[in-house]
Chains A and B, each alone.
Chain A
Amino acid sequence: MRISVSREVAVSLSFLLFGAGVFYSIYSIDVVEGVNAVYTNTLIIPNFVSAVLFDWRGFDTLGECLILITSVLVTGVVFGKGLFNRDFLKEIYSNEDCKDVDLGFTPIIKVLAVPMGVLLMALGIVVILGGHITPGGGFQGGALISAGYILTMVAFGRKDCPVRFSHKFLESLESFGALLFLILGLIGIIISGYYLFNITDIYGINPFPSPSGIGDVGIIPYLNIGVGLKVLAGLSTITTLLISQRIILKNIGKG
């Protein structure tokens, strides 16, 4: 008893000291403009945030996408994808029958979920395609589309869900989105020698056409589409894994 009390006192004291240090640092913040002057004074596309994300710091955005890809992969591994030894999971799922989770919601929610899901998906597509002009972009649009999918999935259960994305389809979509991003970067190496170079013309022809009136935006809309596909597939895959036991049982070779 005494040990636990002293341990709690030590933990709270260290928490207080560290928290006070962090708050003092943040309280005395004084922002230096530095390199941000370049970002705000150069027009690449109308949306400055997307310009920083996809042009100056495109490689960081690629890294952020890959964090999501690795997380989805590791979530699959937790549910038995490609393990060296499956005995532990077989033991856990030995008494489970192959039934999907149906939370049994009322008709009111079921009736409302379909139009709201459709609206969310349409809005997500608009946000992805207009990422370089309007606020938003690939991450936000992908999250909106997967939110529509998750809403219908939770309301109806996996079996009679009106929006049917199969697990294999989502995997292909995710791989395609990430590979699109990586390969667009490689084209930049071939043309200019720099990875993720923003290509606006080759021999006077623009290989990546964009609508007139916004100037030459180069590859940024296409990068947005790649990120959007990847994010929607990743978040939907995680939900599918959490809601359906059939995939887990298939992974560990049962049923």
Chain B
Amino acid sequence: MNLLPLIVVVPLIMAIIFSYIYRSKYVRSLTLLMALVLLILPFLGTYGPYFFGGHGITFIEGIPLVSGILYTLNPLKEILLFTLMLIGSLVLILSTKEKNLSGVFTSLVLMGLASVSAVILTEDLFNLYVFYEIAAIAQAGLVILAGTENAYRSAFKYLLVGTMAGSILLLGVGLLLSATGTLNIGDMGRYLALNPLTPTVYGGLLMLIVGLAYGGGLPPFHTLKVDLYARAKPFVSAILQTYSKFVLIALMLVILKLFGNLPIFNTIRGVLIALSVIAMVFGTVMALLQEDYRKLLAYHTISQGGYVALGLALGTPLGIVAGIFHGINHALYKSALFIGAHIVDKVRSSDMRKVGGLLLTIPIVAFLMLFAKFASIGIPPFNGFQSKLLLAEAVMGANIPELVVLMLIVSIGTFLYMMKAFYLIFLKPCGEEQLKEYRDVKISKYHIFSLGLLVVLCLILGVYPDIVLDRLYPIGEEIGISWVLR
């Protein structure tokens, strides 16, 4: 029996139950239990298609059309789901150490996990839109939970722009439905390949790109995302940025499946590469100017999102593989960095001018964070090196060598601000009184365990990248464009 829908349904049921018993005294133990259940979920499904409600494929005038909602599972989706659930369960484990934990936090995290899994799994445009909206609302709620004035302000801004961008995406889905007569992505791609493109399809494509930019944090919506990551509690930002990255990957794959083999893809590729290059450069330049560690990490997230979008926008098989691999790596080391920022925030504050000399108090955390920073810069033997090397190979294969130079410059900028942050937080000399204050703060074992686990995963993927890459290559060959740019 195929239990694929349980990946989405079990977190939803638990989210409703948690929101009902949000003041109970068992919330902490139940949250720990839920964190363990999440790790089992990605292995419940079997590979292949899954038709909701038992409606299979119907033939109309000899053309096969999917009449209901279709989900598919393949190795690529499984590895994405496993990464998502791993980071989600680590965040849930860390949340049990917070002072004012209530069931509402767990409920919103589970809603987000379920909706992003549905966005990854689905082969149906309207279903994708519905769960995309749930993910956006849940993210705003997670930011408001921090309870500060700035958090309220940034979440309201995000929701206001989100109503507009979500409506535009819905209009685009409606236009594509009217032009092709189906909502299933495979059927729609087949229809578009066989029939001439109308202005309606162009409008739908434009609106899909607007929705992609909002959900994935590409320009012109990147400032909203930066606000979110910087204002939420740092360990919550770890799960927020994972949501955005995976929504970005899923929507990029949808655009590739729909328009990848059409002549218009040249134009789309130009637009998407422009967006991702702006994200890379802007994120790096702004991060160099930041005084606050959380803001610095938020801008770094935007610049790495540019890398992911660049790989996927190339549309070649190697580019798709490199982009998705970089997305997975990014989720891992970035979550480690955000958890480290949470520890620094607990000890003193996230303002880099006020801290210093933490190396003497928490040496283990300092070294783990240094390794995570190495992974984000792209120093061997960590995973960032492997995926950036693959990306450079893919860009060279697509005949755009200027972008490789740009990627190198962006990496050097990343090295500069990451090392500046490390010096200011851990190595800068400080007085005896400050050191005494630091020693009063207890760091729990959970934080160090999760940080260590993520860094070890980074190391394993850096030494044996084939664990993930072997699962990605067939999918890249299947989706990638079959013609070469002259």
Given A64-B130, A171-B20, A179-B13; A32-B179 close (CB under 8 Å):
yes
Decide if B138 touches A38 in the complex (CB within 8 Å): no
B254 within 8 A of A: no
Decide if A172 touches B147 in the complex (CB within 8 Å): no
Decide if A175 touches B199 in the complex (CB within 8 Å): no
Decide if A30 touches B104 in the complex (CB within 8 Å): no
Give which listed residue, A73, A84, A178, A197, contacts B54 with CB less than 8 A.
A197
Decide if B148 touches A85 in the complex (CB within 8 Å): yes
Decide if B9 touches A195 in the complex (CB within 8 Å): yes
Q: Once the chains are docked, how many angstroms separate the CA of A192 from the CA of B133?
A: 30
Q: Which residue of B lies closest to A72 (CB)?
A: B19
Decide if A24 touches B199 in the complex (CB within 8 Å): yes
A78-101 to B contact mask, C-beta < 8 Å, 1/0: 100111111111000000000000
Q: Is the interface of A mostly helix, strand, loop or mixed?
A: helix
Given A26-B203, A32-B179; A73-B67 close (CB under 8 Å):
no
B215-243 to A contact mask, C-beta < 8 Å, 1/0: 00000000000000000010000000000
Q: Which residues of A contact B207 (CB under 8 A)?
A: 22
A142 within 8 A of B: no
A116 within 8 A of B: no
Q: How many residues of A contact B (CB 8 A)?
A: 62
Q: Is the interface of B mostly helix, strand, loop or mixed?
A: helix
A35 within 8 A of B: yes
Q: Which residues of B contact A26 (CB under 8 A)?
A: 175, 200, 203
Decide if A34 touches B180 in the complex (CB within 8 Å): yes
Decide if B145 touches A82 in the complex (CB within 8 Å): yes
Q: Which residue of B lies closest to A78 (CB)?
A: B144
Q: Which residue of A lies closest to B204 (CB)?
A: A25
Q: Which residues of A contact B200 (CB under 8 A)?
A: 25-26, 28-30
Give which listed residue, B22, B54, B182, B198, contacts A194 with CB less than 8 A.
B54
Given A35-B60, A81-B104; A182-B141 close (CB under 8 Å):
no
Q: Which residue of A lies closest to B105 (CB)?
A: A82
Q: Which residues of A contact B444 (CB under 8 A)?
A: none
Please provide the chain B residues from 115 to 156 with a CB less than 8 Å away from any CB of chain A in the complex: 115, 118, 126-127, 130-131, 133-134, 137-138, 140-141, 144-149, 152
Given A70-B137, A192-B54; A24-B9 close (CB under 8 Å):
no
Which of A3-11, A53-61, A202-210 forms contacts with chain B? A53-61
B463-483 to A contact mask, C-beta < 8 Å, 1/0: 000000000000000000000
Q: How large is the interface on B (under 10, 10 to 19, 20 to 34, 35 or more residues)?
A: 35 or more
Q: Once the chains are docked, how many angstroms separate the CA of A86 from the CA of B152?
A: 12
Decide if A66 touches B127 in the complex (CB within 8 Å): no
A11-40 to B contact mask, C-beta < 8 Å, 1/0: 000000000011011101111111111110
A133 within 8 A of B: no
Decide if A84 touches B100 in the complex (CB within 8 Å): yes
Decide if A83 touches B100 in the complex (CB within 8 Å): yes
Decide if A34 touches B52 in the complex (CB within 8 Å): no
B65 within 8 A of A: yes
Q: Which residues of B contact A195 (CB under 8 A)?
A: 5, 9, 52-53
A193 within 8 A of B: yes
Decide if A63 touches B182 in the complex (CB within 8 Å): no
Q: Which residues of A contact B181 (CB under 8 A)?
A: 31-36
Among A35, A73, A88, A188: residue with most chain B CB under 10 A: A35
Decide if A182 touches B13 in the complex (CB within 8 Å): yes
B12 within 8 A of A: yes
Q: Which residue of A lies closest to B126 (CB)?
A: A60
Decide if A73 touches B199 in the complex (CB within 8 Å): no
Q: Once the chains are docked, how many angstroms separate the CA of A248 from the CA of B236?
A: 24
Decide if A84 touches B178 in the complex (CB within 8 Å): no
Given A36-B181, A76-B104, A189-B5; A56-B55 close (CB under 8 Å):
yes
A152 within 8 A of B: no
Give which listed residue, B134, B145, B198, B203, contacts A22 with CB less than 8 A.
B203
Q: List 26 A-B contacts (CB under 8 A).
A: A25-B202, A25-B204, A26-B200, A31-B181, A32-B180, A32-B191, A34-B191, A35-B65, A39-B67, A56-B53, A66-B115, A67-B133, A69-B16, A70-B111, A77-B108, A77-B144, A78-B144, A82-B100, A82-B105, A87-B147, A88-B152, A185-B9, A189-B1, A196-B52, A197-B54, A198-B54
A interface with B by C-beta (< 8 Å): 21-22, 24-26, 28-39, 55-60, 63-64, 66-67, 69-71, 73-74, 76-78, 81-89, 171-172, 175, 178-179, 182-183, 185-186, 188-189, 192-198
- In the complex, besides A70-B141, A194-B54, 7 extra interface pairs with C-beta distance below 8 angstroms are A24-B203, A25-B175, A26-B175, A32-B181, A67-B133, A77-B141, A182-B16
